[in-house]
Amino acid sequence: MVKFSAVAKRYPGGQEALKDVSFSLEAGELAFLTGRSGAGKSTLLKLIPAIERPSAGSVVVNGQNVASLKRAAIPYLRRNIGLVFQDQKLLYDRSVYDNVMLPLAFSAHAPKEAARRARAALDKVGLLGREKANPVQLSGGEQQRVAIARAVVNRPAILVADEPTANLDAESALRILEIFVAFHQVGVTVLIATHDRALVERYGKRVLRLEDGRVA
Amino acid sequence: MIAWLRQHGQALRLGIRKLSLLNALVIGVALALPAAGYALIETLRPAGERLALEPRISLFLAPQVKRADAEALGARLRADRRIGSVRFVPREEALKEMSSVQGLSEVIGALGRNPLPDAFVVTSKDEIAGELGKLPGVASVQADAVWARRLAAAASIAQLAVGLLAALLGAALVAVTFNTIRLQILTQRDEIEVSKLLGATDGFIGRPFYYLGLLQGLIGGVLALAIVGAALALLNREVRVLAESYGSNFRFAFLPVSEALLVLLLAAALGWLGAWLSVGRHLRAIEPR
């Protein structure tokens, strides 16, 4: 589903974030990406939805080589990838419900179908009762769950999360991870970057250790 | 197809929500100037064209010329193939005509005798005024053609000036829209960035801004026409008083319907152009990091 082959990423200015990364994720697999801060976890994740492009090597997502993808094709790639960020990136000028509706607007669903999907996604993260609230009224954990609902509302095949539990207390973090595991169990490919060893060990899933620009 | 309509409907609603009447008013005022200039030129054009189509030459006879000599001259004029029509205006008729003009009858009454000469009014497309002036008994010649040429020259200068004004203010319209949309894009930076991350195409994100530019231009055009209409109505109230004192029913006419529609179309198109330029330049600059 996701295949990195000899991927390197240098930023302008010479900083080398990734040197030689190769790994692949099978469809429906759940894996954790770990490593020190600054090891390049975020860079690696950004290569999957083509937020960044590799300097060398190939990144194949769902059979498409992202490295050579045309600019115009990127939105369609991203619709099949659910993205969850450390800083949620919610829009605070609208309700929880409208935040979750956002990705449905540009994939042009019928209004009824869109509403049904948005409510289903909010239900999966346990926030159906808070749909009218503004995200600022929610706790950090709840905001992260809104972000997950928004990421999965288009039913993507791949879910990519960058430190989704970084700013949360242990209980909220666990709840977030349980949600990811639930998506993994219904066949979604999930890749989660985290530096929380305890959480990773608890699940006994595959771990990709990023060290010195390489995956060990 | 339904999905396409739905997306456009949604973009239109978003565009309407972002509309600023103040910006539309700026555009309206800017467009009102050339539109008004055009309306004025269009009002004056028929007078100039009539003069140019059938240039009249007036031959004023010397006061001592006898009626019989005048008739002989008339026959000679009618025989000339370059001359279209010939009309003899006896001095009595000229006086009567002049007396009917309001304000002049008292002046003429005060004179006591008829100061006017007999005259011929002929039409000709050829430049024969000088030649006619040398005919026996002709005291002076006045050719409208000269005036028609002057008027036409003045009209083409005015037209050029209005054209230049329209081009300049059209560019201003594009610039105003460009800037409005630049600011809109900047204030919606977060939403645009998130939308791009979630898989929105540039077309989808740009669409409300295209509608915004189009609508802003269109409303500006409507306001421009309203301003011109109101200004002409005000002006005509005063013009009527002045024109009636000259026995004329002259009025400034509003733009013809086709020209008014053209103003709206151009305003909308220029608004769209401004939006297109702005979106092309500023939307690409916002990329998620």
Q: Is A168 inside any structural domain?
A: yes
Compute chain B's Rg from CA coordinates. Answer: 31
Q: Is A171 inside any structural domain?
A: yes
Continuous segment of H or E residues that includes residue B85: strand B83-89
Q: Please name every residue paired with B142 in a beta bridge, in sequence order, or none if there are none.
A: B58
Residue burial B11-27, b: 16+ Cβ < 10 Å; e: rest? bbebbeebeeeebbebb
For the domain made up of B56-124, give the CATH fold.
Answer: Alpha-Beta Plaits (3.30.70)
Nearest-by-CA chain A residue for B287: A51
DSSP string, A102-161: HHHHHTT--HHHHHHHHHHHHHHTT-GGGTTS-GGGS-HHHHHHHHHHHHHTT--SEEEE
Do both A137 and A30 map to the same domain? no
How does pLDDT run across A31-54, given as a tens digit for each residue?
A: 999 988 888 899 999 999 999 999
Q: How many C-alpha atoms does A55 have within 13 Å on its Cβ side?
A: 14
Residue with token string 């990734």: A18
Do both A102 and A43 map to the same domain? no
How does pLDDT run across B3-12, given as a tens digit for each residue?
A: 788 888 888 8
Do both A169 and A64 map to the same domain? yes
Instruction: Give the number of A-B residue pairs with CB atoms closer than 8 Å.
Output: 62
A20-34, A128-142, A194-208: the lowest-pLDDT one: A194-208
Do both A212 and A174 map to the same domain? yes
How does pLDDT run across B148-181, given as a tens digit for each residue?
A: 778 778 888 888 999 999 999 999 999 999 999 9
Q: Which residues of B touch A79 (CB under 8 A)?
A: 198-199
Q: Give the gap in angstroms from C-alpha B265 to the nearest C-alpha of chain A.
A: 29
B288 touches A at CB < 8 Å: yes
Mean pLDDT for A9-28 is 91
Nearest-by-CA chain B residue for A48: B197
Mean pLDDT for B50-75 is 80
What DSSP character marks residue B115? -
Q: Is A86 inside any structural domain?
A: no
Q: What is the band of B16 on the pLDDT scale with cuts at 50, 70, 90?
A: confident
Q: Give the gap in angstroms from C-alpha B282 to the nearest C-alpha of chain A.
A: 16
Do both A2 and A75 map to the same domain? yes
Report the complex ipTM: 0.91
- Split into its structural domains, chain A has a count of 2
B187 touches A at CB < 8 Å: no
Do both A125 and A160 map to the same domain? no
Interface contact B197-A102, CB threshold 8 A: no
Q: Please name every residue paired with B141 in a beta bridge, in sequence order, or none if there are none.
A: B59
Amino acid B152: pLDDT:
77
pLDDT exceeds cutoff 80 at A149: yes
Residue A138, domain extent = 91-154
Q: Which residues of B touch A43 (CB under 8 A)?
A: none
Amino acid identity, residue B228? V
Q: How many C-alpha atoms does A142 have within 13 Å on its Cβ side?
A: 14
Q: How many C-alpha atoms does B279 have within 13 Å on its Cβ side?
A: 21
Q: Give the gap in angstroms from C-alpha A201 to the nearest C-alpha of chain B.
A: 30
Continuous segment of H or E residues that includes residue B24: helix B21-53
Amino acid identity, residue B135? L
Q: Which residues of A touch B193 (CB under 8 A)?
A: 89
Backbone angles phi, psi at A198, to 5 degrees: -60, -45
For chain B, the average pLDDT equals 86
Amino acid B85: pLDDT:
83
Q: Which residues of A touch B192 (CB under 8 A)?
A: none
Do both A70 and A172 map to the same domain? yes
Interface contact A75-B191, CB threshold 8 A: no
Do both A75 and A97 map to the same domain? no
Instruction: State how far the Cα of B74 lies from the Cα of B70, in Å rounded to an integer.
Output: 6
pLDDT exceeds cutoff 70 at A134: yes
Nearest-by-CA chain A residue for B2: A110
Q: Which tokens hold the place of A117? A: 């999907």
How does pLDDT run across A84-124, given as a tens digit for each residue?
A: 998 889 999 999 999 999 999 887 788 899 999 999 999 99
Q: Give the gap in angstroms from C-alpha A159 to the nearest C-alpha of chain B.
A: 12
Domain ranges of chain B: 2-51+157-282, 56-124
Q: Which residues of A touch B287 (CB under 8 A)?
A: 51
Nearest-by-CA chain B residue for A74: B199
Model-level pTM greater than 0.80?
no
Mean pLDDT for B130-137 is 82
Helix (H, G, I), strand (E, B) or coil at B214: helix
Amino acid B49: pLDDT:
65
B146 touches A at CB < 8 Å: no
Q: Which of A125, A154, A183 is the last residue of a domain?
A: A154
Q: Which of A134, A154, A174 is the last residue of a domain?
A: A154
A78 touches B at CB < 8 Å: yes
Interface contact A154-B193, CB threshold 8 A: no
Q: Which residues of A touch B207 (CB under 8 A)?
A: none
Q: Is A145 inside any structural domain?
A: yes
Do both A19 and A72 map to the same domain? yes
- Report the percentage of chain B scoring pLDDT > 70: 96
How does pLDDT run across A189-210, given as a tens digit for each residue?
A: 999 999 888 888 888 899 999 9
Nearest-by-CA chain B residue for A154: B198
Do both A146 and A98 map to the same domain? yes
Interface contact B199-A102, CB threshold 8 A: no
Q: Is A213 inside any structural domain?
A: yes
Q: Which of A154, A175, A194 is the last residue of a domain?
A: A154
Residue with token string 């702005």: B278
Nearest-by-CA chain A residue for B286: A51
Q: Which tokens hold the place of B63? A: 């006061």
Do both A129 and A174 map to the same domain? no
pLDDT exceeds cutoff 90 at A20: yes
Continuous segment of H or E residues that includes residue B181: helix B144-187
Of B198, B204, B287, the CB nearest to A78: B198
